[in-house]
Structure 1
């Protein structure tokens, strides 16, 4: 239930692009064997075991479609099924029920999913579920890195860690209803070589719309800050500093070099970044470098090693690079490279 996440650097900060080259994938199965369903729902980072409860027969019909960094699903079940994750998921999952009930094992309490009420599960929020009788839902799967990438773009500063989304969203009206329509349209438009596969820009826009809808309409850790008026535009010297960092991102530049390029003192530069970027100049430089390394790891396949990519972007201490990368993206660089 995971999809690759990619970030693109453009201008001063990574911006989620309208992707022109989207890779599509589709998996669809139906049957009555819980072991087959286990294979269908599992991913390498997060294996899943499904078992049938009681003597009643079970059946399923599941269709998953991936479009670059986002995947959508249309799944239907019959019977009582117990689902257990052997490792936490690596992304956010949004369930949009059409029929029937599911009970998720939450961190603190059980989370119930029923028609008219969507369920938002961040990475690691639930390690199991129980499907009760007939059930059908649409699903939206997004890597955590894509969520934080969009939020980083909205705030123009680095965002990391869990966002602590409220687990429920009303699907009867407003943003929840629109989200369900977007996911349903993505699935129908991409399935069976659908028309959206020939319009990658439209797919990218719909995927971005779904993510921004979640961030702007659902309650989470940064909701109050998003509701505040937009900050004052950064002054010229901060923009000059950022431009200089982007131009020399892989070079061993110092704080003095950046201040000189921005035509201000080091102290003024630090104050500007604290006030308008909520960080320091060197932390900002570190962030755009690790984002560039992340992009290369996603694209490198087996052509380059982790060490090659780390060195390319100025990370000479591989242990510290791996630790910072895992803190930022939730996995080791080697794990990203193997995807």
Structure 2
């Protein structure tokens, strides 16, 4: 396993110049001063593989408008003043007492109050989903949704801040973790598990419930096969043949160990694949084209299934 770790530390007195810097390391962003011509900011990033810890210091405040944010969850920890986040459904934020977690792709505006000093964690969706699946020993049918706020003064908040400072310190100026990237990766994974185990989300109850029976290898193999080939034509006999079991054994395994059917699992995986592309601002395809590419031929049935699963019409997600 090859893990890349590095630190980037940048100070700027030009909002436009800082935009270029952020675009080169994270994503395209519009940065607007809020104190007339006065602007200064320091941005420090500690990159661990696909994950990142960062610190921002906007001395005179700033308004940040993300254009193409990463597919990640952002955990914000303010130590001075406040940060306000705007998404299509809410306005929320973090203060020295209150932390905040949000999907990066849902954030349309970030307001940094003058003098704000904030630390954050960028948790890639792929990494946090993989950790969740490993804890639950099952695939997940719904996208992960966190309750946005948590107390920084709680035992969890204190431990999270301590872990973030320890990792950042170890990566500072060629520190010990720069020489041991695998150790840095495992420490960052521990952060992911800390967040999953302590913040409230739609899988919290399952994480504390008694562990289910271990799934047979053929069920796990079938899930991996479906996840990898969900965008292709799939039949149940084809899946059964791929994992070397009978169709009946495959169907019984899904009912017993996953409380669903093979066909229903395929549909759920494809629906979530459609939703990811609908929420991707870089995708220019129509709803119909996206649905058909994921195997939904009858668009009326697709729209009904999408509404039943996500509580919204697919056109609403595309509108965002």
Q: TM-score range by the shorter chain?
A: 0.7 to 0.9
Deviation at 1:44, TM superposition (A): 8.1
Provide the C-alpha distance between the structure 1 equivalents of 2:150 and 2:242, rounded to a whole number of angstroms. 45
Whether the aligned pair in 2 keeps the contact of 1:79 and 1:133 (CA below 8 Å) is yes
* Residue aligning to 2:241: 257
User: Is 1:179 equivalent to 2:160 in the alignment?
Assistant: yes
Instruction: Identify if the C-alpha distance between structure 1 residues 29 and 322 changes in structure 2 by more than 3 Å, giving closer, same or farther.
Output: farther
Which of 189, 202, 207 is the matching residue for 2:183? 202
1:280 CA drift (Å): 4.9
Alignment of 1:130-279 (within 5 A): 130-159=111-140, 162-234=143-215, 238-240=216-218, 242=220, 254-255=238-239, 257=241, 261-262=244-245, 266-278=247-259
- Aligned mates of 2:54, 2:220 — CA distance in 1: 40
After superposition, the Cα gap between the structure-2 partners of 1:32 and 1:244, relative to the gap in structure 1 and judged at 3 Å, is: closer
How many angstroms does 1:162 deviate by? 3.2
Secondary structure in structure 2 of the residue aligned to 1:271: helix
Residues 160 and 243 from structure 1, CA distance in 2 versus in 1: closer, same or farther, beyond 3 angstroms? closer
1:182–1:210: 8 Å Cα contact kept in structure 2? Answer: yes
Preserved contact between residue 241 and residue 258 of structure 1 (Cα < 8 Å): no
Q: TM-score, normalised to structure 1's length? A: 0.69
Contact kept in structure 2, 1:119 and 1:167, CA below 8 Å: yes
Q: Does the residue aligned with 2:187 lie in a helix, a strand or coil? A: helix
Q: Tell me the alpha carbon deviations over residues 245-290 of structure 1, each in whole angstroms, 9 at most, x when there is no partner.
A: 989x99x98355368x45xx53243122222134556868xx8xxx
Match of 2:81 among 100, 104, 124: 100
Given that residues 75 and 99 in structure 2 are in contact (C-alpha distance below 8 angstroms), is that contact kept between their aligned partners in structure 1? yes
The equivalent position to 2:48 in structure 1, one of 57, 61, 67, is 67
For 2:311, the equivalent position in structure 1 comes to none
Equivalent residues of 2:5, 2:181 under 8 A apart:
no
Are the equivalent residues in 2 in contact too, given 1:157–1:279 (CA < 8 A)? no
Tell me the TM-score normalized by structure 2.
0.72
SS of 1:124's equivalent? helix
Q: Find the aligned partners of 2:116 and 2:122 in 1 and give their Cα distance.
A: 18
Instruction: Indicate the RMSD between aligned Cα atoms, in angstroms.
Output: 3.4
8 Å contact from structure 1 (residues 118, 170) kept in 2 = yes
Find the residue that maps to 1:30 and give its secondary structure.
strand
User: Relative CO higher for 1 or 2, CA cutoff 8 Å, sep ≥ 6?
Assistant: 1
Residues matched between the structures, number? 268
Distance 2:142 2:60 in 1: 37
Contact 1:60 1:75 in 2 (8 A): yes
Unaligned runs of 5+ in 1: 1-19, 288-318, 325-339
Q: Choose from 16, 28, 36 the match for 1:47.
A: 28
**Is the CA contact 1:46–1:90 (under 8 Å) kept in the aligned structure 2?**
no
